[in-house]
């Protein structure tokens, strides 16, 4: 039955964001790590000429990067985002801070540059990276995996001890595992898709709009967002339903996109000179949530990151959650020499938390596109800030728990629900905070919310 199970040797599928971080964490602890990646080495082929796509990095992700020794290099190219810059339909703008000060912010990082940094640290830690190797089939009984080189079409078969699937939402390892056992897989499509557009630098080379914010143009059933890049551009993402008006069914050409922007995103339109070109040439991305009941196949294979729990991008947590998975899996593997038990513990710890952030990500779409400009919401947010100041140990806003702390996602979801009920209840019938009875408010908070451990 193949190799001894407790050998500190592992084969990772995918050298994307999670694959590279996991490889680094394990190689740093003396594991022998081989990573197989479908694409070529981006450090050789280069991302040059490609589009800039960025991601919001938050505390969970930074924590994992610190453990892997990559935080300084990543932060050197990150752009701070203090809050949401809301662009109202009438052209007014308003910065809604995410946290209390600049210690509570998120960071925009360039996906391509991030991947290059992570590959460098993985290699430096001793992981062996094999590029141009797409996982094609797995013989789990014999512990042999076959990889195809997409360029030469040659197939190479290697022995493994266990496989880790860090091969993203369309995971080939997941498909291979599903041929052996029922993973309880279910994909829920959101019914909305996205298109990326670009705001180039201004004539003088500077940013065209406020760089230290995540810009949002909320328009009810749809929205645009823009995140800054260190090269002074912004990546704009237009989210629209797939059907109805407007939708990707009704907005089909560059001219349709211009008409939509003229009507709904007037202040963004002059910032995107290649709107028609970007709209027609960039692919339309589908959005879905992937749920699995099982993440591992005995001691042979385990999934993490998007391969296990792809989510919609509205909380900016997919990568952050994937990095948190890497830390958890490395810890369980290191602590527990029985591989199957380690995988089972990893799944027991992470699956409920993945479910919770998947749900919060879905909820955040509604909040971003429809609520950030609504009066009730703004009053509740104002009270939330007051309560967070008055009871910092008890009332921690959900966004703060998710983005600036490492409270397990499931705890953040549960406490967030209790807090939201409280905000709705306390502001009911009030048009401003001036008419609240603060003695009662404070008593209710103390009665309903237990203190949250300071180290979470």
Per CB under 6 A, the list member of 10, 11, 12, 19 interacting with ligand FAD is: 19
Q: In angstroms, what is the minimal distance from the CB of 438 to ligand FAD?
A: 37
- Asked if residue 42 binds ligand FAD (CB under 6 A), the reply is no
- Residue 83 and residue 397: Cα distance in Å, rounded? 14
Residues of this chain, 320-379, that bind ligand FAD according to CB under 6 A: 320, 322
The answer to whether the Cα torsion of 416, 427, 376, 103 is positive or negative is negative
Check residue 38 for interaction with ligand FAD (CB under 6 A): yes
Which CB atom, from 70 or from 168, has the smaller least distance to ligand FAD? 168
For residue 401, the surrounding DSSP H or E stretch is helix 398-403
Which listed range, 14-22, 204-212, 288-296, 425-433, lies at the site for ligand FAD (CB under 6 A)? 14-22
- Which single residue brings its beta carbon nearest to ligand FAD? 16
CB 216 within 8 A of CB 86: yes
Q: Is 56 in the site for ligand FAD (CB under 6 A)?
A: yes
Site for ligand FAD, residues 275 to 294, rule: CB under 6 A: 285
Binding of ligand FAD by 198 (CB under 6 A): no
- Longest Cα–Cα distance of the chain, Å, equals 73
CA-to-CA distance for 207 and 234, rounded, in angstroms? 8
Burial 174-185 (b: 16+ CB within 10 A, else e): bbbbbeeeebee
For residues 332 and 154, what is the distance between their CA atoms, to the nearest angstrom? 35
- Is there binding between residue 166 and ligand FAD (CB under 6 A)? yes
Both tokens assigned to 237:
């993402």
Nearer to ligand FAD, 173 or 441 (CB): 173
Binders in 292-311 for ligand FAD, by CB under 6 A: 305-307
Q: Which is nearer to ligand FAD, 307 or 342 (CB)?
A: 307
The CA distance from 216 to 86, in Å, is 5
Count the residues of the shown chain that bind ligand FAD, applying the rule CB under 6 A.
Answer: 32
Q: How many residues make up the chain in this entry?
A: 456
Alpha carbons 44 and 116: distance in angstroms, whole number: 10
Neighbours of 330 (CB within 10 A): 25
CB under 6 A: which stretch of 10-18, 253-261, 360-368, 439-447 binds ligand FAD?
10-18
Select the residue interacting with ligand FAD from 10, 11, 12, 18 (CB under 6 A): 18
DSSP string, 176-207: HHHTTS----EEEEEEEEEEEEEEPPPTTSS-
Contact 79, 55 (CB under 8 A): no
CA 124, 63, 14, 298 torsion-angle sign: positive
16 binds ligand FAD (CB under 6 A): yes
Closest distance of CB 394 from ligand FAD, Å: 28
Could you give the string, one character per residue 119-138, with x where binding to ligand FAD holds by CB under 6 A and - elsewhere? ---------------xx---
Measured from the CB of residue 319, what is the shortest distance to ligand FAD in angstroms?
3
Of residues 143 through 162, those in contact with ligand FAD by CB under 6 A are: none
Q: Which of residues 207-266 bind ligand FAD (CB under 6 A)?
A: 237
Q: Is 172 in the site for ligand FAD (CB under 6 A)?
A: yes
Nearer residue to ligand FAD within complex by CB, 28 or 171: 171
Site for ligand FAD in 311-330 (CB under 6 A): 313, 316-320, 322
308, 292 contact by CB (below 8 A):
yes
- Closest by CA position to 238, among listed 212, 213, 269: 269
Buried b (16+ CB within 10 A) or exposed e, 33-57: bbbbbbeebbeeeebeeeebebbbb
Sole binder of ligand FAD in the list 168, 211, 218, 416 (CB under 6 A): 168
Residue 395 or 409 with smaller CB distance to ligand FAD:
409
Q: How far is the CB of 173 from ligand FAD (least distance, A)?
A: 7
14 binds ligand FAD (CB under 6 A): yes
CB count in 10 Å sphere of residue 378: 14
Provide the binding-site residues for ligand FAD, judged by CB under 6 A.
13-19, 36-39, 55-56, 134-135, 166-168, 172, 194, 237, 285, 305-307, 313, 316-320, 322
């Amino acid at each position: 039955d193949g190799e001894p199970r407790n050998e500190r040797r592992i084969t990772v599928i995918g050298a994307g964001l999670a694959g590279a971080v996991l490889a680094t964490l394990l190689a740093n602890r003396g594991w022998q790590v081989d990573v197989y990646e479908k694409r070529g080495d981006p450090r050789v082929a280069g991302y040059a000429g490609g589009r800039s796509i960025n991601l919001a990095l938050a505390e969970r992700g930074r924590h994992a990067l610190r453990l892997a020794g990559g935080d300084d290099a990543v932060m050197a190219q990150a752009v701070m985002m203090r809050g949401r810059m809301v662009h109202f339909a009438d052209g007014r703008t308003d910065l809604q801070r995410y946290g209390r000060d600049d210690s509570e912010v998120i960071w925009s990082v360039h996906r391509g540059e991030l991947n290059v940094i992570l590959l460098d640290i993985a290699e430096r830690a001793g992981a062996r990276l094999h590029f141009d190797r797409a996982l094609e089939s797995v013989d789990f009984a014999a512990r042999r995996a076959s990889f195809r080189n997409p360029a030469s079409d040659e197939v190479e078969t290697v022995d493994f001890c266990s496989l880790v699937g860090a091969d993203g939402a369309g995971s080939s390892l997941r498909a291979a595992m599903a041929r052996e056992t029922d993973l309880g897989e279910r994909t829920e499509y959101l019914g909305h898709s996205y298109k990326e557009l670009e705001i180039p630098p201004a004539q003088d080379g500077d940013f065209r709009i406020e760089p230290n914010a995540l810009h949002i143009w909320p328009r009810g059933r749809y929205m645009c967002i823009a995140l800054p890049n260190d090269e002074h551009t912004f990546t704009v993402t237009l989210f629209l339903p797939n059907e109805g008006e407007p939708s990707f069914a009704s907005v089909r050409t560059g001219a349709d996109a211009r008409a939509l922007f003229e009507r709904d995103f007037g202040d963004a339109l002059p910032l995107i000179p290649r709107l028609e070109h970007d709209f027609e040439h960039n692919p339309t991305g589908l959005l879905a949530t992937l749920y699995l009941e099982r993440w591992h196949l005995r001691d042979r294979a385990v999934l993490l990151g998007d391969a296990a729990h792809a989510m919609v991008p509205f909380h900016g947590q997919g990568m952050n959650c994937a990095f948190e998975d890497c830390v958890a899996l490395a810890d369980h593997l290191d602590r527990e020499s029985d591989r199957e038990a380690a995988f089972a513990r990893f799944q027991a710890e992470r699956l409920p938390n993945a479910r919770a952030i998947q749900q919060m990500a879905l909820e955040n779409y509604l909040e971003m596109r429809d609520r950030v400009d609504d009066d009730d919401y703004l009053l509740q947010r104002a009270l939330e800030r007051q309560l967070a100041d008055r009871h910092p140990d008890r009332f921690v806003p959900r966004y703060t728990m998710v983005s600036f702390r490492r409270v397990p996602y499931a705890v953040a979801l549960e406490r967030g629900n209790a807090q939201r009920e409280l905000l709705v209840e306390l502001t009911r019938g009030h048009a401003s905070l001036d008419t609240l009875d603060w003695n009662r408010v404070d008593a209710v908070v103390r009665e309903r919310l237990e203190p949250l451990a300071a180290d979470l």
